[in-house]
Structure formats: structure tokens, C-alpha cells
Amino acid sequence: MTSSSATLFERFLAPVFNVLIDREALLRYRNSKNWQRESDRFRQPGLDYPAYYQQNFHGIRGGYLTVDAAVTYDPVTQYLLPPNEEWVRKGLIEQIRCQPRRILDLGCGTGSTTLLLKRAFPFAEVIGVDLSPYMLVVAADKAERAQLDIQFRQAKAEQTGFPDASFDLVTASLLFHELPPQVSCAVLQESFRLLKPGGEVLILDGNQSTLRQTDWLMQIFEEPYIKDYAAGSVEAWMQTAGFGDVATIDVWWVNQVTRGVKPLPYQKVEFEAFARTGKTQWAMG
């Protein structure tokens, strides 16, 4: 890792990870690939990287647009999601109420949650999108090793290019704290557009209430938008995007899952009628 400044991550956590992580194994994996050729499989011509995505994350200059970020993401993240990374990610899976036939995982990174979604719904079509072609190389590797049929594509979470109402379930894990709040809102608006009526959106990320009360957690990593994320409300953003039945549950204190449902047409009519008259009978005839 090349640190851009003497962050708490560099001073405290990086030395710890140097002990915990098998650096030789990482180097072997890094050197085993032609990253340019492999990543070219996913690059979309004409795609512009937003300014927010070109920031430094976790002390890595260039953030996720580097091979080093892709290679080190999984070994580091396993120690950052207490008590167990898979348990935390399964916290999202456990809140899914529908039986989706088509699933989109936004900001899929190295595909850790994407693979869990495919295992939970083996007959569903599962697609993961991310901006980093290097992260997608790792994700595709993991899916191939697990013998899971998953599609991975390069796309912005707020502008995916998929048709309206083409998914039953849209998810995002550990994405929102790395986005400016206005982009998180745009991602939820895009999710609403992509979902069929009755479809679900689920967002797994840091617990906003916990982060507000533990400033030291936000200072550990070089995360340019985490304070703005902590000050906001995924529930409020989701409701503004048009979702109903919005609720948040805590996941091991440090994280949270927020779920919302795209209303069915009759539910939307009933809500609009109530807003106009204050009587539900108006909508029901």
C-alpha cells in the first residue's frame, strides 16, 4: 500500500495487517496475471470515472482504480467487519423477503456479497457491477473458482444503463459510506427505476448511529465521505426515492441493513389519495 498521508490506518492498522496477511501469497497472485489484459475485458469504452471515485481510499493513492486495491481488498476486509465478514454480509441476505429471479449487486467490488446472493438464490440471474475493472477481475476469478454463474460488468451504480423495471432485487454492500450523500441518493433513485413494482432494495453499510457516536471509528481509515454518510440517514434517502416499508436493523452494532420496497401500483394510488384527502376510502372506491 502506498499511503498518501500519515493516517491512523498507516500508523496503526497497516503494521497489524502486515503481520496477519500472507504478503507472499498476495504477491504471487498479483504477479500471476496480466492485469491490463484481464481488466480490458470489463472496461466500457467512453465511461468516465466520476471525481468522487478518484479520491484516495484506505490510504491507497488512486483508490480502487489500482491493482493493489483489488489484490489487498479481501485480505484486509476480513479483519474490518467484526465479528466475521461472512456473517455481516449474510445479514443482508437474511433480510431479503422476495424470491428474486433477477438480482443486481451495485458496487460489487470483489464480489463477496454477489457470490452469497447467487448461493442463496441459485436459480436467479445475478449481475454485479462496479467501476473498478481490477476489482471485477478478482470478482470473476472468485466466481469461476466457486463454479457460480455470475455476470460482472463495469458501470456506475447511479447510472447502470439497464432497462426500467428489469430487476426483482437490488443490493449494495459497503458502498454508501464511500459516496457523497447526493450520489447515494442518486443510486437509490436508480435502484427505484430498475426495480419491478414490489421489488426490494437492501443496503448494507456502516451503522450511522454508531458512527456518529464513535468519531474514532471514522478517523481510522482514509474515507473522504464517511462523516457525511454518518450524519445522514439511509432510511430518509430511501423514502425520498419513493420506497415504502423502509426499515433498518443493526448488524453486529457496527453495521446496518436498510430495506425498502418499490410500491405496487395500487399502493401508490392509495398513498397519493390519502395525501390528498386524508381518507383511504377514496382510493378503494
Residue 224, domain extent: 1-285
CATH number of residue 135's parent domain: 3.40.50.150
Provide the pLDDT for residue 274: 52
Q: CB-side exposure of 250: number of CA atoms within 13 Å?
A: 8
Q: pLDDT under 50 in the chain at which residues?
A: 1-13, 280-285
Provide the pLDDT for residue 3: 43
Over residues 76-92, the pLDDT tens digits come to 888 888 899 999 999 99
Q: Which residue has the cell 454477489?
A: 114
Burial (CB count <10 Å: 0-12, 13-18, 19+), residue 6: exposed
Provide the pLDDT for residue 176: 98
Q: Are 168 and 220 in contact (CB under 8 A)?
A: no
Over residues 119-135, the pLDDT tens digits come to 999 999 999 999 999 99
The cell for 56 is 484516495
E-strand ranges in 60-166 read: 102-106, 125-130, 151-154
Provide the pLDDT for residue 29: 93
Please state whether the predicted TM-score (pTM) of the whole model is above 0.75. Answer: yes
Q: Is the dihedral of CA 268, 274, 280, 283 positive or negative?
A: negative
Provide the pLDDT for residue 275: 53
- What torsion do the CA atoms of 93, 94, 97, 99 make, to the nearest 10 degrees? 50
- Tally of domains within the chain: 1
